[in-house]
Chains A and B, each alone.
Chain A
Amino acid sequence: MEMNDPLRREEKKETRPDQDKSGPSSPDSSRPGRDNLLKRMKKVDPKQSEKYKQRTGQ
């Protein structure tokens, strides 16, 4: 089975040779809603996993 590199989104972010940091940047091609999701994620208590104390069930 062929599988794309799961980390390919990091590759997408790489600067293209024709991009000049001082000039206009190319349109953000990231997924719509990504920024809102990141905002949601930033609000999560980084230590909440330590407070999640569960019993074994079935």
Chain B
Amino acid sequence: MKKRIFGIETEYGLLVKENNSGDFRLDPIEIANKIKNHIFSKNLGVLDLHYRANDEPPGNGGFLLNGGRLYLDMGHLEYASPECSNLVDLITFDRAGDSLIQEAVEELGWENNISIIKNNVDLETNATFGCHENYLVGRNFPFDERDNLKLLSSFLTTRLIYCGAGRIGSCNPHPFQDWDGVSSQEALDEKIDFQISQRADHIPNEFYRWVQYNRAIVNTRDEPLSDPSKYRRIHLLVGDSTMSEFATAMKMGTTTLMLEIMQLGVAKREWILADSVQAMRSISRDQEFKWNVTLASGAFSTALELQHDILETCKKHLAGTNQETDWILENWESVLNDLSKGPEAVLGRVDWASKYWMLNEFKNEENLDWHDPWLKSLDLEYHNLNKESGLFWGLEASGDGYRKTTDPAVDHAKRNPPRGTRAQGRGELIKKLIGQHSHIGYLIDWIGFRLSKTDDPFLMLDPFISYKEDIIEHLKQFETSYSTQKEIENSDVSSGESKKN
């Protein structure tokens, strides 16, 4: 399967700031709800009219004009991008979600009262929340072979060195009983200054299908959200939310190439790590950035060497496939080469390194210790979506943020779907439901919709098809039969009334 489809789901954190005047008394859940309702009140999407699940009642969320989805999930505002066929679209629509939410905060006049934080940990309580990645692969993708899962696990563990968002300190959870064998990890009580991953401390398993507890490096849930006979959706929860467009592109781009060499059967068994869970934690916590790993063969290597080796295999088998693949390969190589020069060499491209450099500069300037609460607060501020105050945006403003999108493209993506996937048809459906068909009921999901109990479900099982023209035609036919039905009902009512008279 050469064509690609990607998606990203982001759970946002919400910080209620110090309220000196005492006139801002909403709690985070109320705030998240009001932000979501504000976005839908602007006709940027349609709220669900039906239960989607026990914890998703009507009005909890809905699909957007851009084909994506905004909702509340476990107390967090969550945005799921529409299905995108290329990396530039994906990053544009990922940022469009950030922008929709931050814009709502500012329109509600709350920019001084709250901050929307695109990170994955509460540094005080160690609560964690995710950024999930979705990759569409063919049903024949070799996902059931144990060694293949271990290869993917090795790749995901070592990609931390350029995909991690970094964090101050650590969380030392109690060791988990692995459902698939007991992990050798112990409860660690080391005091960590800084680590390169937000999620590493929260991933106790190598493989598992659940997403809230016992999170795994490779999530094995099989929920294709498409024709299950043709497709499989690889759904990963191990990654950090990334602020840098380059980091997001690398996270998604290199992973898709890894999946492609696995599909080709050319990924090398020698890359398998002795213990991915332990390696992920030790890579993340390595204060010297050496990132040593032990392979299943017993040999020693480093995350950087392993990534270079995977890159070389991808170059050998995938170079020249298309422009996007070549862009990924070129920039993958460049970031791996530059990582060995130190954090400043990858400023703006790698989030953990950008954060580390900024915090280190500040720490030295103010003569602080790594465990000073001010640094924790700055860690959060790196992820603030408010461009006037968020630290990442300061980096971008100084020209250090690598852009793959433009602001006008991000603005456009708030109201228009991407082309080349079924998100385009879904966006058209939402537009029609908001406009001339606002009187019609609906039930919408990723794989299709229906407009009434008697309407046949319109299935969108192939994510590569836009369905746009078919949806327009379906709506026309539905409107015709709806009008006819209404006329019959009206005439029945009037004839009933004349009989009464």
Contact = CB atoms under 8 A, between A and B. Distances in A.
B123 A58 contact: no
A5 B344 CA distance: 11
B312 interface: no
A33 interface: yes
Contacts of A47: 18, 373, 377
A21 B134 CA distance: 57
A58 B74 CA distance: 8
Contacts of A34: 361
User: Max chain B CB contacts within 10 Å: which of A2, A6, A43?
Assistant: A6
A15 interface: no
B289 A58 contact: no
B179 interface: no
Interface in A2-55: 2-10, 13, 31-34, 36-38, 40-41, 43-55
Nearest to B393: A40
A40 B212 contact: no
Contacts of A10: 364
Given A1-B290, A58-B130, A53 B122 contact: yes
Contact of A52 (B122, B305, B358, B374): B122
Contacts of A41: 358, 362, 378, 381, 391
Contact residues of B: prevailing secondary structure: mixed
Nearest to A8: B342
Contact residues of A: prevailing secondary structure: loop
Contacts of A8: 342
A13 B365 CA distance: 11
Given A9-B361, A40-B389, A56 B128 contact: yes
B356 interface: yes
A45 to B, nearest CB: 6
A43 B361 CA distance: 15
Contacts of B74: 55-58
A54 B122 contact: yes
Interface string B233-244: 000010000000
B177 interface: no
A6 B395 contact: no
Interface in B199-238: 211-212, 237
B16 A51 contact: yes
A57 B398 contact: no
A57 B129 contact: yes
A30 B81 CA distance: 38
A16 B244 CA distance: 36
A32 B122 CA distance: 31
B344 A37 contact: no
B397 interface: yes
Contact of A58 (B212, B341, B395): B212
A5 B340 CA distance: 10
B377 A46 contact: yes
Nearest to B212: A58
A37 B342 CA distance: 20
B11 interface: yes
Contacts of A1: 290-291, 302, 304-305, 340
B56 interface: no
Interface in B282-302: 288-291, 302
Interface string B340-367: 1111100100000000111011101100
Given A54-B125, A54-B127, 20 more contacts: A6-B288, A6-B289, A6-B343, A9-B360, A31-B347, A31-B400, A33-B398, A37-B361, A37-B394, A44-B381, A48-B380, A49-B379, A52-B13, A52-B123, A54-B122, A54-B129, A57-B76, A58-B74, A58-B129, A58-B211
14 contacts: A5-B342, A6-B288, A6-B289, A9-B360, A32-B398, A32-B399, A36-B397, A46-B372, A46-B374, A49-B123, A50-B373, A51-B16, A55-B75, A56-B127
Closest 5 interchain pairs by CB?
A33-B398, A57-B129, A46-B374, A49-B376, A54-B122
